[in-house]
Structure 1
């Protein structure tokens, strides 16, 4: 086969063309050949078709020959069996009863169903044994499949419940995601609103501070200065509380009039100093706040 393919590959374009024409004449059974475009590609395609057709014809010829040989063998075997029935057993096929013919037909059908080479008892028993083994194997496989099916049937409700639970959880998660998204959008809008307001307040505060500066308001009365003064006042109050704790600690000492009197005087002086500074600072702030108002009036 390989040598034949190599020989075909070595064929020239003219030889291929000659084979194609001969094949077309054989198919058409006439001298008329269908027109086709003559080029290298068309010739190669037609040449491959010719090769496939010849291979198929060859295979068919071999198959027909094999069938004919088997037919001849069957006819010879039939003649031999008829001779045995006629000469040895003295039975004429035409004398066989209808019931016997039906039995023979059943026997033949059984042999064909079991795919035996003949209708002998050994062949039938062997085929029946093989069929029984195949049947047992099939039943065993069916039992295994049934057991597996029952096992899957027991697991299936749990799987379906789990699937339903997963669907519900997924639905809840999607709903929660929608709520979180809406909440995030609302917070984002609020944040944007607050940022815009903050920028607006900054602009308005800056404009007010500039206007107050033009009117002669001191920087000490601005918001930042007032916050610093408030912190300073809170620190001063803490110092006063610390001093009062120190004074209360001296109250528990044994009586020593001279030392106690000296310490009390020192504490009073510190308190008076702090109060004087605080009063002075508050007075200054009040004066600074009143003067711009008068100028505005």
Structure 2
């Protein structure tokens, strides 16, 4: 880790020269990324230096060969640039320019034609690549338009959601306030009820007169009344019988006793309550 940091700092100092190195967060990821970039940069610089040296060497070789050919033309044939006519010098300059553009070392037709064919193929490939890039660019523009529309819709949804969230938050806050109020009120009522019950206990209040006791007494009375109804129905047939003093008297006495017992039971329950 320390070796990588030293390497990165050295590379950054060499890259920025006299300018201050920008501050960055030092961690494992940033150091690894900068270390890889530094290695790639140094490797590219080495390759560039080797390429420059190769170009310098080829330049010196071309110059030596040009001087040799010039000596051959001047000494062997007696031709020089000064002895050529204006059209010949122009043709020679055009041949040299074409050779440099085509990247050939000779100006013969056999060297020019392959170079021209190669450049033509490169041009066709470039045009083909250009058409492909144009299609991809159109597709990207369409997708970009759809993405922008989707982004606009999402932004609208976000804005609506934020507004709804604000409204719901206000409602929730209001509910919390109401809940706190209800809790406080319920606590107050519970305290008041406990206080009232304590006062009733202190005054020795009879529980039989409470609302719950009265309600239970009413239920018991209704139940007894329901029990009396079938007994009254039993007496109804005897009301229509012909007079039979002995039997009727017996039945009447039995019914009276049952009715009296029920009345007594009802009175006892009422008094007990």
Are residues 61 and 163 of structure 1, via their aligned partners in 2, closer, same or farther at CA, if it must alter by over 3 Å? closer
How far apart are residue 238 of structure 1 and its match? Answer: 7.9
How far apart are residue 279 of structure 1 and its match? Answer: 8.3
Unaligned ranges ≥5, structure 2: 1-49, 242-250
Q: What is the 5 A alignment of 1:205-284?
A: 205-221=193-209, 226-227=211-212, 230=215, 233=218, 257=237, 276=266, 280=270
- Partners of 1:274 and 1:121 lie apart in 2 by 145
Q: Match for 1:99 among 87, 109, 133?
A: 87
* 2:176 is equivalent to residue 191 of structure 1: no
Unaligned ranges ≥5, structure 1: 1-58, 251-255, 285-297
State the Cα deviation string for residues 39-74 of structure 1 (Å, max 9, x = none). Answer: xxxxxxxxxxxxxxxxxxxx8999866654443223
How far apart are residue 241 of structure 1 and its match? Answer: 7.4
State the Cα deviation string for residues 150-205 of structure 1 (Å, max 9, x = none). Answer: 22333333322221111111111111111111111111111111111111111111
Kept after mapping to 1: 8 A contact 2:102/2:116: yes
Kept after mapping to 2: 8 A contact 1:82/1:93: no
SS in 2 for 1:94: coil
- The match for 2:129 is 141
* 2:67 is equivalent to residue 75 of structure 1: yes
CA RMSD, aligned part only? 4.4
- Partners of 1:277 and 1:79 lie apart in 2 by 156
- The number of residue pairs the alignment matches comes to 207
